[in-house]
Amino acid sequence: MPKLINQQAELVADDYLWLEDLAQLPTDEQQGLLVPLALWQQARAELQRFKRLGVKLASDEFAELIAADLGKFSLVAIEFPKFVDGRGYSTARLLRERYNFTGELRAVGDVLLDQLHYLKRCGFSQFALRDDQNLAHASAMLQVFSDSYQSGVDQPQPLFRRRQLA
């Protein structure tokens, strides 16, 4: 089971039930649910009764597919099927910057320590690390750079603009 950490590299409990089909649907509406996009599209009316609802986007499913429904989600998980697939970074930035999603944004799948700083810059707030990743190094990887030249979700102004304002 992946280790779930937040932006401060603290281990956090995953209190969302990963639901693959409606046969597993719990009766407790307070239970957090995380469902794949296809299930959300299929059973939207039935799933909306849950207070904490999340949707998981595969790497080939884009932000536009859930843009109209973002107010219904407290969590969006974006899958990284392999280390070299960077589409999730773009999806995260679109969710944060274009669609103003303010809920939890979780990176899942092939998530490595080397990616943490860049995932955070794109707007991810949670990271489900692969089992073979050393949790003790996560904090250092989230703070590997003291500043960034480029703009990002975590720092909208590029360094040259911040210097002009100082």
User: Residue 137 has what DSSP assignment?
Assistant: G
Residue 1, pLDDT score:
65
Mean pLDDT of 147-159: 83
Q: How far apart are the C-alpha atoms of 61 and 37, rounded to whole Å?
A: 8
User: In the numeric block, which tokens belong to residue 65?
Assistant: 């597919």
- What pTM does this model have? 0.92
Q: Per-residue confidence at 35, pLDDT binned at 50, 70, 90? A: very high
Domains of the chain, CATH where assigned? 3-165 (3.20.20)
Instruction: Give tens-digit pLDDT for 38-97.
Output: 999 999 999 999 999 999 999 999 999 999 999 999 999 999 999 889 999 999 999 999
User: In the numeric block, which tokens belong to residue 131?
Assistant: 């089992």
Strands 75-80 and 104-109 turn out to be parallel
3-state secondary structure of 85: coil
Strands 32-36 and 16-18 turn out to be parallel
Residue 44's closest CA among 69, 63, 79?
A: 69
Instruction: Give tens-digit pLDDT for 3-19.
Output: 999 999 999 999 999 99
Instruction: Give tens-digit pLDDT for 92-134.
Output: 999 999 999 999 999 999 999 999 999 999 999 999 999 999 9
